[in-house]
């Protein structure tokens, strides 16, 4: 159980760092690049969701 908790916390921290790196750029052309930014953020959260499901499955077994 400790391993699962550590894994979830680590994945959450990595997602937070990734989001801050993408969002903290202060892009002046953000309106033109919204689709790309949303796409990258979506991939981060999709991967996070998959990792959480895997971690939960490991926790159950």
Confidence at residue 54, expressed as pLDDT on a 0 to 100 scale: 95
pLDDT at 39 over 90: no
36/11: higher pLDDT: 11
Tokens standing for residue 47? 């991967």
The model scores a pTM over 0.85 = no
Between CA 57 and CA 61 the distance in angstroms is 6
Task: Single out the residue of 21, 27, 25, 24 nearest to residue 44, CA to CA.
Answer: 21
**Nearest-5° Cα angle at 32, 28 to 34:** 95
pLDDT tens across 17-30, in order?
888 887 766 656 66
Assign 55 a pLDDT band (cuts: 50, 70, 90). Answer: very high
């Amino acid at each position: 159980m400790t391993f699962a908790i550590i894994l979830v916390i680590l994945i959450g921290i990595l997602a937070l760092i990734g989001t801050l790196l993408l969002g903290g750029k202060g892009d002046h052309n953000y309106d033109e690049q919204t689709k790309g930014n949303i796409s990258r953020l979506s991939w981060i959260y999709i991967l996070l969701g998959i990792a959480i499901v895997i971690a939960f499955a490991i926790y159950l077994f």
